[in-house]
């Protein structure tokens, strides 16, 4: 099959890690007889430098016309250190999510046996953890009405959710649970918040359409505890925007390997796939950045395109690289391979497994 | 000196653990020549049973006329399992906080060397952790306007904060930092929320009055990560209601010993001191509940009454009980002492240290 992939490598280490993901996808194309047509476009600081706009219209058009968007990272210190900057790289990402209607952020959290020693948690706590977090991305308090009284004495933020907003992401999460261990945990604060009660009511209603999935509920403060006490109890977690931000970032560190964490943002149309790490300016151009998160983002993309055995092939290659210790210095400082060497190994292993 | 203490032992294991705290305070009275006059009053399920009201007016009056309130726990399964119950034990606690103007919840989190093996985190991560979390307790989204549209399709919650609400708790937190390691971390989400920006602006302004305290800022999602990656970096944490709920519950499990966690709720007048554990109905009357959180709540009370060496004496006795393994079964199932035996040891050690 043929797929058009929009390639938004972005800033910092974005281009060099994305290049390794492309190598992996090219190997997949060879072995499984697909064609991936990659088209590059600008986003972030590099787009501001070239056009003055962190998300040029051309880029939006390209994404909309593609089957998927492979994203690198954005951000540059020259904008972080300039509070007066009116145009910021990050605006490109927010506008892109909005333009593409990406209302659902998906973050897998997995404890790789080979990396378990890197976790701040004890081995017996983290072992077996394999979570998929579904976070609502375009509603809630982050996008509510903001207000500051004229005298500057009182500030307010509004949080609201509609049944329609909850319904569309709930279906995605239930379907994911059906493809996994058939358990869905809704994280909310329904004992206090009206929006949480609407989430609980709506999700309980939708659960009737998925009677093979076990649904349970957890208050967000308790979820923050359970994520540390017993993370392997979770399968799919569904939650609203703010709670998802906190819980998914908390979960991201328990695996002990941020350099391996991929994410997807999906919605009504094309999906976008990206590592959760940022543009890491200090490492740019040094060939030391860990490409595995970008490579695993490509695997998430394949799964989203319904290419499941192809996604498995990439994930197996990543497991193999961990097993053999063919990894960058963030994982094993004593024996560090370069970004390109890790990428080459993954592509080779896809072409010639064992 | 003479102090009037309102004793609200409450439900479940509340009375039996509070009794051990009283033993410790009686020993303190003997050694340091104070008088603690304890007056009992009803709150929670036992108050509903006796009067129909989870917080009788007598109880409020007693608390207001006292120097401090020593609180046990509330809650009974017969109310939890009856969703139609109009009167609930928990209402007693919320109303009491409101009646006494308790706008600041204080939660210490400490890694006791003797218990560090019980933590889900690795020893080298948790070692040295000693945090005091200041959570705003009467504002923010938990107390905002709640709304559900007539057709049930849209729910909303309002979050608001005033400079006055932020200022009064900020001063308490800065003063605590001055008495500790002189570092204050404000946890907010100022890159997104208007209320957070008001917190940051107000706290930055107040910091000028405490130039011996180092102030820094952390977004709540990052704070949830840092609490796991490097908890010993924190001294005093200051934050709003919802973020404080999540972060303090997350922090409560990293020490590995919930049975030792005390808390204080303070405000404009009398302070209230209580263990964070609940009424634990399954253990009620079995003489197995861990009294150390209640005993450490009494120590927090003494510190609040400016009796610092007296508070130290209780805390030293608790450390000694851990060192000698004179603890309940939740800490060491292989060698479990009873609630009363632990209480007796603490009181004895206060009277005859070493
Ligand atoms: Mg975040
Ligand atoms: Mg809580």
Number of domains in chain A: 2
Three-state SS letters, B174-240:
HHHHHHCCCEEEEEECCCCCHHHHHHHHHHHHHHCCCCCCEEEEEEHHHHHHHHHHCHHHCCEEEEC
CA dihedral over A287, A289, A290, A295, signed as positive or negative: negative
- Please tell me the number of the ligand nearest to residue B218's CA: 1
Test B249 with A146 for CB contact under 8 angstroms. Answer: no
Q: What is the DSSP letter of B10?
A: E
Centre a 10 Å sphere on the Cβ of residue A229 and count the other Cβ atoms it contains: 15
B142 and chain A in contact, CB less than 8 A = yes
Which strand (E) or helix (H) includes residue A175? helix A163-179
B127 at the A interface (CB within 8 A)? Answer: no
Name the residues around ion ligand 1, CB cutoff 5 A: A 245, 249; B 221
Query: How far is it, in rounded angstroms, from Cα A207 to Cα A183?
Result: 11
Q: pLDDT, tens digit, for every residue of B241-264?
A: 999 999 999 999 998 888 999 999
Tell me, yes or no, whether A116 and A245 share the same domain.
yes
User: How close are the terminal C-alpha atoms of chain B, in Å?
Assistant: 26
Tokens standing for residue B314: 């209780």
Q: Measured in angstroms, how far is the CA atom of residue B45 from the centroid of ligand 1?
A: 40
Residue in B146, B239, B242, B252 to test binding to A, most A beta-carbons within 10 Å: B242
In a domain, A352, yes or no: yes
Do residues B35 and B74 both lie within one domain?
Answer: yes
Nearest CB to B155; choose among A198, A249, A254 = A198
B221 in the same domain as B345? no
Helix ranges (DSSP H) in B72-193 = 77-80, 89-99, 123-126, 163-179
Instruction: Decide which of B255, B290, B310 is a domain's last residue.
Output: B255
| pLDDT single digits (tens) A297-349 | 999 999 999 999 999 999 999 999 999 999 999 999 999 999 999 999 999 99
Which SS3 state, helix, strand or coil, does residue B140 take? Answer: coil
Q: Same domain for A108 and A223?
A: yes
Q: Could you read off the pLDDT of A85-134 as tens digits, one per residue? A: 788 888 898 889 989 999 999 999 999 998 999 999 999 999 999 999 99
For an interface test with B, the pick among A94, A165, A194, A200 (most B C-beta atoms closer than 10 Å) comes out as A194
B95 shares its domain with B154: no
Helix axes B292-304, B339-351, angle to 10 degrees: 40
Which of 217-246 (B) contact A at CB < 8 A?
220-222, 224-225, 227-229, 242, 245-246
Which residue, of A253, A279, A314, is where some domain finishes? A253
- Let me know if residue B17 belongs to a domain: yes
Q: Secondary structure of chain A: what % helix, strand, coil (to 5)?
A: 50, 20, 30
Ligand nearest to the CA of A252: 1
Subunit contact B120:A222, Cβ cutoff 8 A: no
The confidence score (pLDDT) of residue A94 equals: 85
Rounded distance between C-alpha atoms, residue A147 and residue A335, angstroms: 53
Please check whether residues A187 and A247 belong to one and the same domain: yes
What is the structure's pLDDT at B83? 65
Interface check B147 vs A, CB under 8 A: yes
Contact status, residue B132 vs residue B235, Cβ threshold 8 Å? yes
Distance CA A262, CA B86 (A): 47
Task: Give the separation between CA A78 and CA B147, rounded to whole angstroms.
Answer: 43
Q: Is residue B208 part of a domain?
A: yes
Cα A41 from Cα A14, distance rounded (Å): 13
- For residue A261, being part of any structural domain is answered with no
The 3-state DSSP class for residue B258 equals helix
d(CA B17, CA B20): 5
- Give residue A217's domain range: 104-253
Last residue of a domain, one of B255, B287, B314: B255
- Taking the C-alpha atoms of residue A89 and residue A10, their distance in angstroms, rounded to an integer, is 9
Judgement on whether residues B168 and B246 belong to the same structural domain of the protein: yes
In a domain, A190, yes or no: yes
Distance CA A263, CA A272 (A): 8
Averaged pLDDT, A266-294: 95
Mean pLDDT of A147-151: 97
Among candidate residues B157, B115, B119, B117, the one with its CA nearest the CA of residue B140: B157
What distance in Å separates the CA atoms of residue A129 and residue A235, rounded to the nearest whole number?
Answer: 9
CB distance A66 to A38 below 8 Å: no
Residue B85 lies in a domain: yes
Q: Show the tokens assigned to B238.
A: 């200051």
pLDDT number for residue B98: 87
CA distance A257 to A255: 6
Neighbouring residues of B39: CB distance < 8 A, sequence distance ≥ 6: B4, B5, B6, B7, B62, B66
Contacts of A147 in chain B (CB under 8 A): 194
Q: Taking the mean position of all CA atoms in its chain, how far away is CA B145?
A: 27
Is the residue at B320 inside a domain? yes
Residue A90 has a pLDDT of 85
The whole-angstrom distance between A147's CA and the closest CA on chain B is 7
Q: Annotated catalytic, A221?
A: yes
Rounded Cα gap, residues A299 and A106, in angstroms: 13
* Cβ contact A120:A130 at 8 Å: no
A142 touches chain B (CB under 8 A): yes
Supply the residues of B annotated as catalytic. 142, 189, 221, 245, 249
Q: B290 and B244: one domain? A: no
Contact A322, A114 (CB under 8 A): yes
Q: Are B122 and A125 within 8 A, CB to CB?
A: no
Q: Which residues contact A129 (CB under 8 A, 6 or more apart)?
A: A109, A110, A111, A231, A232, A234, A254, A255
Same domain, B218 and B181: yes
Sequential pLDDT tens for chain B (354 residues): 999 999 999 999 999 999 999 999 999 999 999 999 999 999 999 999 999 999 999 999 999 999 999 999 999 888 877 767 788 888 888 889 989 999 999 999 999 998 999 999 999 999 999 999 999 999 999 999 999 999 999 999 999 999 999 999 999 999 999 999 999 999 999 989 999 999 999 999 999 999 999 999 999 999 999 999 999 999 999 999 999 999 999 999 998 888 999 999 999 889 999 999 989 999 999 999 999 999 999 999 999 999 999 999 999 999 999 999 999 999 999 999 999 999 999 999 999 998
Range in A23-32, A75-84, A270-279 the model is least confident about: A75-84
For residue A10 the two structure tokens come to 């972005």
| Cα→Cα distances B279→B21, B69, B335, Å | 16, 17, 23
Number of C-alpha atoms within 13 angstroms, CB side, residue B14? 24
- pLDDT score at A83: 65
The CA B246 to ligand 2 mean position distance, Å, reads 6
- CB contact (8 A) between residue A220 and residue B147: no
Pair B11, B50: CB distance under 8 Å? no
Q: Which of A89, A154, A204, A226 to mutate to probe the B interface, most B CBs <10 Å?
A: A154
CA distance A49 to B95: 57
Residues B90 and B115 in one domain: no
Helix (H, G, I), strand (E, B) or coil at A11: coil
Q: What CA–CA distance (Å, rounded) separates A85 from A70?
A: 27
Give the model's pLDDT for residue B354: 80
* Cα–Cα distance for residue pair A218/A224, rounded to 1 Å: 10
A248 and A109, same domain (yes or no): yes
Q: Which tokens sit at B66?
A: 């006292």
If one counts every other C-beta atom within 10 angstroms of the C-beta of residue A1, the result is 12
Which residues in chain B are closer than 8 Å to A138, comparing Cβ atoms? none
- The enclosing domain of A140 has a CATH number of 3.40.718.10
Q: Is A260 part of a structural domain of the chain?
A: no
Instruction: From the candidates A130, A142, A183, A341, give the one annotated as an active-site residue.
Output: A142
Same domain, B117 and B251: yes
Asked if B152 has any chain A CB less than 8 Å from its own CB, the reply is: yes
Which helix (H) or strand (E) covers residue A5, if one does? strand A2-10
3-class SS of residue B251: helix
């Amino acid at each position: 099959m043929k797929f058009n992939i929009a390639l938004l490598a972005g800033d910092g280490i974005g281009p060099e890690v994305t290049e390794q993901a492309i190598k992996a996808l090219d190997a997949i194309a060879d072995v499984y007889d697909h064609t991936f047509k990659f088209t590059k476009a600008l986003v972030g600081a590099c787009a501001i430098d070239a056009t003055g706009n962190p998300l040029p219209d051309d880029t939006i058009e390209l994404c909309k016309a593609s089957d998927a968007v492979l994203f690198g990272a954005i951000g540059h210190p020259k904008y972080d250190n300039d509070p007066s900057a009116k145009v910021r790289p990050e605006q490109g990402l927010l506008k892109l999510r909005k333009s593409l209607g990406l209302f659902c952020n998906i973050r897998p959290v997995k404890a790789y046996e080979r990396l378990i020693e890197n976790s701040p948690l004890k081995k017996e706590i983290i072992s077996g953890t394999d979570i998929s977090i579904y976070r609502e991305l375009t509603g809630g308090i982050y996008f509510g009405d903001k207000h500051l009284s004229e005298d500057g004495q009182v500030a307010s933020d509004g949080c609201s959710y509609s049944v329609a907003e909850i319904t569309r992401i709930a279906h995605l999460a239930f379907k994911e649970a059906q493809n996994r261990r058939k358990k869905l945990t809704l994280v909310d604060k329904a004992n206090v918040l009206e929006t949480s009660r609407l989430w609980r009511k709506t999700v309980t209603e939708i659960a009737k359409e998925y009677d093979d999935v076990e649904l349970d509920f957890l208050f967000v403060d308790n979820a923050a505890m359970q994520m540390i006490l017993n993370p392997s109890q979770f399968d799919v977690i569904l939650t609203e925007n703010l709670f998802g931000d906190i819980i998914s970032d908390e979960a991201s560190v328990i695996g002990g390997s941020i350099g391996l964490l991929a994410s997807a943002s999906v919605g009504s149309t094309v999906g976008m796939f990206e590592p959760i790490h940022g543009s890491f300016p200090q490492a740019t151009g040094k060939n030391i950045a860990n490409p595995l998160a970008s490579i695993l983002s490509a695997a998430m993309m394949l799964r989203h395109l319904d290419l499941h055995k192809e996604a498995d092939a990439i994930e197996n290659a990543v497991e193999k690289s961990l097993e053999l210790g063919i990894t960058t210095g963030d994982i094993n400082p004593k024996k560090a391979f370069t970004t390109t060497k890790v990428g080459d190994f993954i592509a080779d292993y896809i072409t010639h497994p064992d």
